[in-house]
Amino acid sequence: MDDLKGDAAMTTNQNADQTTTPATDAGVRQILVIGSGAMGRQIGMAAAVAGFTTTVRDVAAEAVSAAEQDMRTWLDGRVAKGRMDQETADAAWERITFTTDLEPAITTADLVIEAATEKLDVKRSVFAELDRLAPPHAILATNSSTYGSSAVADATGRPEKVCNMHFFNPALVMKAVEVVRHASTSDETVATVEAVARAMGKVPVLLTKEVPGFVANRLMGAVRNEALDLYSQGVASVEDIDEAAKNALGHPMGPFELMDLVGLDVTYLIRQATYELTGDEAEKPHPLLEQKYRAGEFGRKTGKGWYSYGH
């Protein structure tokens, strides 16, 4: 899976065009984001707009180039639409760097946010390297939507400075950030990460206990699974289930529309990872979701999912 997170909580209606507040004195000045995919690049830009000196790093040069172009386009679009002034956009651009080089950025980082692939062995390797290179005071956070930070904390020598800082997709729009502590996470780490989230214009949601899927995705996962069951039983069509979610429950998007937007591949793989973590048969991806995944019908990105799209 790439850096894109399939976060069901995207159904929350947020304002994409509010400018975030300046960075507060949270003891954090420089932020390093690991991974330049859809999530990593947006987390980095949100940090830069908020006033943090930010580096977005990826091992692949083409991924870095694509991220840089995408975020420049995003800033230009905000200015063109009158939702951000040119001075603010230019200042944010001056504060963000995209690179394939890890060491120069990590040696001065106060907070590292890992937004790499959702594979535990990869994450543990990344955290071991981050721990080796980062200054002793640096907090190491994971944006994982599946794994609690205890799964990577013991790969470091600073478990008290490790936690989840879980943004929602798209990170430049969604305001919620789940801050998940594990048993050894210090109160100071939690307070600092919450302060950084607020400085970025986000609303931190603190989880004092790790649970697969955390809060928002578990809530939305229940809606998604019920929608799949209703469709598989022939109770209602995909379209009508989505209409019910929007017009009866007030969701901005129906569960099938949301899966197509996020990516059925992402949704499937996150569900599969949760099942592998818990061993609970109820956590397995729904058979209809697996069927779409095996067929390569991932939603908007492939032109077909629950709906068809003109590509």
CA–CA separation, 149 vs 163, rounded Å?
Answer: 5
Is position 217 annotated as part of the catalytic site?
Answer: yes
The SS3 call for residue 213 is coil
CA–CA separation, 252 vs 59, rounded Å?
Answer: 36
Residue type, 84: M
Quick one: which of 1, 5, 2 has its CA closest to 262? 5
**Start-to-end Cα distance in the chain:** 22
The DSSP bridge partners found for residue 34 are 57, 114
Choose the catalytic residue: 143, 149, 150, 166: 166
Is position 149 annotated as part of the catalytic site?
Answer: no
Choose the catalytic residue: 217, 251, 283, 286: 217
The SS3 call for residue 49 is helix
CA–CA separation, 119 vs 139, rounded Å?
Answer: 21
The SS3 call for residue 299 is strand
Please give the full DSSP string across 96-134, using - where no structure is assigned.
EEEES--HHHHTT-SEEEE---S-HHHHHHHHHHHHHHS
Choose the catalytic residue: 114, 178, 194, 257: 178
Choose the catalytic residue: 143, 145, 149, 150: 145
CA–CA separation, 304 vs 311, rounded Å?
Answer: 9
Is position 251 annotated as part of the catalytic site?
Answer: no
CA–CA separation, 283 vs 224, rounded Å?
Answer: 12
Angle ∠(143,111,57) on CA atoms, nearest 5:
70
Alpha-helical (H) ranges within the chain are 38-49, 61-80, 86-95, 103-106, 120-133, 150-153, 187-199, 216-232, 238-247, 255-262, 264-278, 287-294
Q: Tokens 């919450």 map to which residue? A: 194
Is position 166 annotated as part of the catalytic site?
Answer: yes
Residue type, 278: T
CA–CA separation, 215 vs 212, rounded Å?
Answer: 9
Residues annotated catalytic, as ranges: 145, 166, 178, 217
